[in-house]
Amino acid sequence: MSAHPLPTEPVPFAPRADPAALADLRARLRATRWPDAPEEAGWSLGTDLDHLRELVAYWADGFDWRAREAELARLPRFRVGAGGLGIHFVHARAVAPRGPVLPLVLTHGWPDAFWRYVKVIPLLTDPGAHGADPADAFDVVVPDLPGFGYSDRPAGAPLNSRQVAAVWAELMERLGYGRFGAAGGDLGSHVSRYLALDHPERVAAVHRTDAGLPVFDGDPARLTAGERAWFEEVREWAATEGAYAAVHRTKPQTLAFGLTDSPAGLAAWLVEKLRAWSDCGGDVERSFTRDEILTLVTLYWLTGTIGSSMRMYRANAALPAAQLARRVEVPSGFSLFAGDVLRPPRAWLERTAHTVRVTEPPRGGHFAPFEEPETYAEELRAFFRPYRRTTDR
């Protein structure tokens, strides 16, 4: 819940970090108490010690947050009240559009924030300036999920993806959009799905980069061989890579103490996922520069949102099975990037959604809008093209 009266109209927002907070961050980084690690462990047990030492040294003495802050401030950012919370969002309107403009709400996942889409925003609002058709321009809305980034943290129970979808529907109404497209990945895939399920009269079409973890309580014989193989892949992945999610779902507050107190610990928790889930071939800096990584980690540090971001997993774990089993009837498209985790078979996509388009871009991972912004932008342009018409603006 916001500590201040919530604005009913969007208010420009350009936060500037307290110099004392930046000084405290550098002092903590320089005083990091490092764990030991077995020789040659590398990334096999989690974040590589040598890699993190180098990153933390650069964070303390080379990273320029003020420059990154100024870059982010060039985006048209706002805050407004929706769902009883102050929501931070980017609202970038189409530039010199030709024809109907489709509003598009893009929802990020974990462990990120509006950061996920900063590279793709200009490609979507001004395609003509980037070698694409100006008729494909969008009005783009990129909110921070509640409890992430600069959006308010719920004071009580965290919001689940369905509740966030209701907040987004209110947000889009406040912005004057009666009809819009929705897109996202990770938690943003869930939110986009519930927008389509609960507000089908307003959502023109929905695009996702994943289908989430599968839920099926029917007869396994009804599944295709490809679906059964995918279910087994999901089980194996959960056993080897899913410990983070188990903690988030069950005891996130315990983990939050350490990650809120130690910037090196926070970086370790986030960077390991940036490496594991991106299409980087084991070298995280093939997908993200050090400045890009530290921009995201510093956002989490300065906003103190690692605990509240993890709690959303607990909220989603309590969603009734009946909600998870609902089929999306709004036209749905999926871009399954080659380097992402848990890429579902088409049979599952068609079982769970009115699937009209599936593509498999050859490069890019879980953070595709950031890793491969040009490809991601073209995926959205192509998918939403049939669903444009005169809309409320």
- How far apart, in whole angstroms, are the C-alpha atoms of residue 309 and residue 343? 24
- How far apart, in whole angstroms, are the C-alpha atoms of residue 96 and residue 274? 35
Residue 355 confidence (pLDDT): 98
CB burial of 131-162 (b: ≥16 within 10 Å; e: otherwise) equals ebeeebbbbbbbbbbbbbbbbbbbeeebbbbb
- How far apart, in whole angstroms, are the C-alpha atoms of residue 333 and residue 303? 33
CATH of region 11-28+49-387? 3.40.50.1820
Q: Residue 88: how many CA atoms within 13 Å on its side-chain side?
A: 23
In terms of Cβ atoms closer than 10 Å to its own Cβ (0-12, 13-18, 19+), residue 333 is buried
Residue 1 confidence (pLDDT): 47
Under a CB-based contact definition with an 8 Å cutoff, are residues 205 and 103 in contact?
Answer: no
| CA 37-41-44 angle, 5° bins | 115
What are residue 328's phi and psi, to 5 degrees? -80, 125
Which tokens belong to 205? 């079409």
For the chain, how big is the Rg over CA atoms in Å?
20
Q: In this structure, is the dihedral angle defined by the CA atoms of residues 103, 348, 109 and 118, taken in order, positive or negative?
A: negative
Return the number of other C-beta atoms located less than 10 Å from residue 170's C-beta. 16
Per-block average pLDDT, block size 10, for the chain (393 residues)? 75 97 98 96 97 98 98 98 97 92 98 98 97 96 98 96 98 97 98 98 98 90 95 95 96 98 98 98 97 98 98 97 95 98 97 98 98 98 90 44
In terms of Cβ atoms closer than 10 Å to its own Cβ (0-12, 13-18, 19+), residue 320 is exposed
Judged by DSSP in three states, 92 sits in strand
- How far apart, in whole angstroms, are the C-alpha atoms of residue 2 and residue 8? 13
Alpha helices in 199-285 (DSSP H): 225-241, 243-250, 252-261, 263-277
Under a CB-based contact definition with an 8 Å cutoff, are residues 188 and 106 in contact?
Answer: yes
pTM to 2 decimal places: 0.96
List 88's β-bridge partners, or say none.
79
For residue range 52-104, what is the model confidence (pLDDT) as tens digits? 999 999 999 999 999 999 999 999 999 999 999 999 999 999 998 888 999 99
**Distance from CA of residue 1 to its chain's centroid?**
22
Residue 196 confidence (pLDDT): 98
Return the number of other C-beta atoms located less than 10 Å from residue 324's C-beta. 18
For residue range 130-153, what is the model confidence (pLDDT) as tens digits? 999 999 999 999 999 999 999 999
Residue ranges of E strands in 276-359: 328-335, 353-359
